[in-house]
Structure 1
Amino acid sequence: MPLVFLEGPQGIRPDAKQKLMREVTDALSAAYHFPDVRIFVREYPAGDVAQDGVAGAEPIRPVCFLEVPELRDLDVRRTLVGRVQDAIATAYQGLANTDETLVMVNHYPLENVGFHGRLQSDDPQIVGLIEQLNR
């Protein structure tokens, strides 16, 4: 159920991209204990990214959006963000300004997520998993 949208520069090697996706999946799995982690990597040429109003002026600063269920434990969130940032820094070394990677954690309550034609708040198994996660 966790989704990741990673916006970064073009040029990451296929093996580095695969390692990045594995490490981010592992970080999300450790935090959420949920199956079905989906990662979408969006790559841009430098001229298509403006930072402070100027396109191509500096190495791209990656942005990562974590679209995830509610997670109250700040220590778990801190660990998750740190692991995701470390994976991005390793994968984009020399291609991006990874010192300024932004990770946005967007939490969704179960009543705002639909799957298999119903709200996740109507699925007792998912409700139980979220309650256990947030104890």
Structure 2
Amino acid sequence: MPQLLIEAPIGIGDQAKRKMMMEITEAVDAAYHIPDVRIWLREYSPENVSQDGRINAQPIKPLCFLEAPELSDLDTKRTMAEKILAAIATAYRGLANTDETLLLMNHYPLENAGWAGRLQADNPEIVKAVAALNQ
């Protein structure tokens, strides 16, 4: 159930998108081992992005939000972040300022996540999986 939203410029091809999304899925799956990893790519033209109040002033800096269950292992988070940022950097090289891509990780306790008709705190499989992640 981890979800990743990527805000980035328009311009990468389908092959680069597929490769980036596969690499990101693998990175998130390696960290969480929870199925249903989704990636939402939202693309913007430069005239629709303001950085420090200026439109088209510099290449867009991608922004990512990881919405997922709690994950306490800092090394696992670090490795996952490095892989996500590397995949984005490769896909958007020359099109965006990927040296300054921002990844924000929003972690939720299972009692704050509803999916498949119930709170995930009531889903024994997910409770067990997240407990194993955070031992």
| Normalised-by-shorter TM-score class | over 0.9
Structure 2 residue aligned with 1:28: 28
With the length of structure 1 as denominator, give the TM-score of the two structures: 0.99
Q: Does 1:50 align with 2:11?
A: no
Whole-angstrom distance in 2 between the partners of 1:22 and 1:93: 17
Whole-angstrom distance in 2 between the partners of 1:18 and 1:77: 23
Of the structure 1 ranges 114-123 and 41-50, higher mean CA displacement relative to structure 2 is found in 114-123
Matches within 5 A, 1:74-89: 74-89=74-89
Structure 2 residue aligned with 1:106: 106
> 1:125 is paired with a residue of what secondary structure?
helix
Structure 2 residue aligned with 1:73: 73
Seq. identity, %: 58
Gaps of 5+ in 1: none
With the length of structure 2 as denominator, give the TM-score of the two structures: 0.99
Whole-angstrom distance in 2 between the partners of 1:18 and 1:102: 21
Would you identify which runs of 4 or more consecutive aligned residues in structure 1 move more than 2 Å? none
Cα shift at 1:115: 1.0
Whole-angstrom distance in 2 between the partners of 1:36 and 1:115: 11
Whole-angstrom distance in 1 between the partners of 2:116 and 2:75: 32
> 2:12 is paired with a residue of what secondary structure?
coil
For residues 42-101 of structure 1, what are the alpha-carbon distances to aligned partners after superposition, in whole Å with 9 as ceiling and x for unaligned?
A: 000000000001111100000011001100000000001000000000000000000000
> 2:103 is paired with a residue of what secondary structure?
strand
Structure 2 residue aligned with 1:121: 121
* Equivalences, count: 135
Cα shift at 1:124: 1.0
Q: Partner amino acid for 2:54?
A: V
> 1:58 is paired with a residue of what secondary structure?
coil
For the aligned residue pairs, the C-alpha RMSD in angstroms reads: 0.5
> 2:17 is paired with a residue of what secondary structure?
helix
